[in-house]
């Protein structure tokens, strides 16, 4: 059985925002990705095109880039 590999479209995002707990800047990097395949469909039930996926990834990444995150240590202190 051959293995079909679907191409994954990726978008690398990074942000540099102040931690809400200590106020020091926190740098984060994250890669958002979606696979271009016959099962990845949009709201209309059509297979997503590469352009659609790129647009979605851009929107998701832009939203994520605007959300401040606390350092893991700061988060623990805030919880206790
Ligand atoms: Zn912090």
Instruction: Please give the distance, rounded to the nearest whole angstrom, from the Cα atom of residue 21 to the centre of ligand 1.
Output: 5
Residues whose Cβ atom is located within 5 A of ion ligand 1: 19, 21-22, 71, 74
3-state helix, strand, coil in the chain (%, to 5): 30, 30, 40
> How far is residue 49 from each of residues 8, 26, 44, measured CA to CA in Å?
12, 34, 12
**pLDDT value of residue 2:** 66
How far is 10 from 29, CA to CA, in rounded Å? Answer: 13
Q: What is the pLDDT along the chain (80 residues), one digit of tens a residue?
A: 667 788 999 999 999 999 999 999 999 999 999 999 999 999 999 999 999 999 999 999 999 999 999 999 999 887 76
Tell me how far the alpha carbon of residue 59 lies from the centroid of ligand 1, in angstroms. 26
Using CA atoms, how far apart are residues 64 and 57, in angstroms rounded to an integer?
10
Q: Please name every residue paired with 26 in a beta bridge, in sequence order, or none if there are none.
A: 17
Cα-to-chain-centroid distance, residue 67: 12
């Amino acid at each position: 059985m051959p293995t079909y590999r679907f191409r994954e479209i990726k978008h690398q995002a990074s942000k540099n925002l102040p931690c809400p707990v200590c106020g020091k800047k926190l740098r984060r990097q994250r890669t958002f990705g979606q696979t271009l395949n016959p099962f990845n469909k949009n709201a209309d039930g059509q297979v997503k095109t590469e352009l659609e996926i790129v647009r979605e990834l851009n929107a998701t990444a832009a939203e994520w880039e605007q959300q401040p995150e606390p350092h893991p240590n700061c988060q623990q202190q805030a919880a206790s």
